[in-house]
């Protein structure tokens, strides 16, 4: 198999060296570097990379300007932003994603600790590089049941009851997918929306603020004690799990610092598990673009409760990991392109709403 050619663009010598050492140690990767965006653009034709990692703050031509120049001539070359975990870095990263970057990774807080930095690169950056270049994921997942005449798991029929909440799990490619889908939901949406987007602290607050400015529904970063209400979406705060709980006639969000699940905090499975417990069958679960299989276990619980599940299709996903696992296990009622998901959410939310009252408590 031909190696994946990675162009690393960063003005810091130590960062280039660490990235070169960490990436170059993987037998599937071949690395070359550039000290700034202008040099990187000149190397594109010479090196013909399969993917680019791009620092944001650089002299002569910064990461965002480099990305915009690159996208003028190459719309498909995958680009991963390598950004700092600061408000400025988060804001610039979201700008880059809007301008055509495919994903991002935050730099280790202490880049001087070489071993820590290399470990972070191996666990966070390399899997993204391979996923965006089409290398199949090797993440371990529960082994499938042996073939038999009957299905290994017989889920109950989907309940013909009105939906009370929409729960969304999303990761790689998520900010752009959410900015495409959420603005299509009407302000009159009669149910709340809860979302896990895999992101670190700071990033989720800025993402929620940007989406709120684009959407008819209200979009906020979730915090402990916030009540779920119609026409509002809560995005789990980076670094914490978000769960929902019934308190009398209300359902509120809570946050926890429990251990990561699927190497994620927030994790989709954590949210979905709590939503299934609180709402039983009256849930629409939506799994969208993202690496890994976070959300798979949660969707099993949704189906066991009689809830509904839809997923984004492979063609419109940046990475068909999370939705792909759900689809391959037969858990999805529908597999849809990104542009049709909002319409399907509205259709399913409105279905049966006039004929059956909502449950005060389940």
**Catalytic residue set:** 171, 198, 294
Cβ neighbour number for residue 116 with a 10 Å cutoff: 13
* Beta carbons of 199 and 81 less than 8 angstroms apart: no
Cα gap 38→61, rounded to integer Å: 6
Cα gap 55→62, rounded to integer Å: 8
In 3-state terms, what secondary structure has residue 129? Answer: helix
Q: How large is the greatest C-alpha to C-alpha distance in the chain, in angstroms?
A: 66
Q: Which residues of 139-192 form beta strands (DSSP E)? A: 165-170
Angle at 111 between CA 110 and CA 114, to 5 degrees: 110
In 3-state terms, what secondary structure has residue 350? Answer: helix
Residues in the chain: 362
Rg over alpha carbons for the chain, rounded to the nearest Å, is 21
Cα gap 303→126, rounded to integer Å: 33
Q: Which helix (H) or strand (E) holds 92?
A: helix 87-98
Q: Which residues of 25-178 form beta strands (DSSP E)? A: 29-34, 51-55, 79-83, 103-106, 165-170
Q: Using CB atoms within 10 A of its CB, is residue 26 exposed (0-12), middle (13-18) or buried (19+)?
A: middle
Cα gap 23→294, rounded to integer Å: 25
Cβ neighbour number for residue 170 with a 10 Å cutoff: 28
């Amino acid at each position: 198999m031909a190696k994946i050619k990675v162009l690393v663009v960063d003005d810091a010598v130590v960062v280039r060296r660490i990235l070169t050492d960490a990436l170059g140690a993987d037998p599937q990767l071949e690395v070359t570097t550039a000290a700034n965006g202008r040099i990187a653009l000149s190397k594109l034709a010479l090196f013909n990379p399969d993917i680019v990692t791009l620092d944001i703050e650089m002299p002569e031509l910064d990461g965002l300007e480099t990305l915009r120049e690159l996208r003028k001539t190459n719309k498909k070359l995958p680009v991963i932003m390598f950004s700092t975990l600061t408000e400025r870095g988060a804001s610039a990263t979201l700008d880059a994603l809007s301008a055509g970057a495919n994903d991002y990774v935050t730099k280790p807080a202490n880049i001087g600790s070489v071993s820590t930095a290399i470990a972070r690169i191996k666990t966070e950056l390399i899997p993204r590089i391979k996923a965006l270049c089409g290398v199949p994921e090797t993440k371990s997942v529960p082994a499938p049941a042996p073939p038999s005449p009957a299905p290994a798991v017989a889920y109950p029929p989907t309940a013909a009851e009105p939906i009370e909440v929409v729960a969304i799990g999303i990761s790689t490619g998520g900010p752009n997918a959410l900015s495409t889908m959420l603005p299509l939901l009407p302000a009159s949406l009669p149910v709340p929306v809860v979302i896990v987007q895999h992101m670190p602290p700071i990033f989720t607050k800025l993402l929620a603020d940007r989406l709120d400015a684009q959407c008819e529904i209200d979009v906020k970063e979730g915090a402990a004690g916030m009540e779920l209400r119609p026409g509002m979406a809560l995005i789990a705060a980076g670094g914490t799990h978000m769960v929902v709980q019934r308190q009398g006639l209300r359902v509120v969000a809570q946050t926890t610092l429990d251990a990561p699940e699927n190497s994620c905090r927030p994790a989709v499975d954590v949210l979905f598990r709590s939503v299934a417990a609180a709402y039983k069958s009256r849930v629409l679960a939506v799994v969208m673009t993202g690496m890994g299989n976070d959300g798979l276990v949660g969707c099993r619980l949704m189906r066991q409760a009689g809830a509904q599940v839809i997923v984004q299709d492979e063609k419109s996903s940046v990475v068909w990991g999370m939705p792909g696992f759900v689809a391959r296990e037969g858990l999805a009622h529908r597999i849809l392109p990104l542009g049709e998901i909002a319409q399907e959410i509205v259709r399913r939310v409105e279905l049966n709403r006039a004929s059956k009252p909502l449950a005060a408590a389940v």
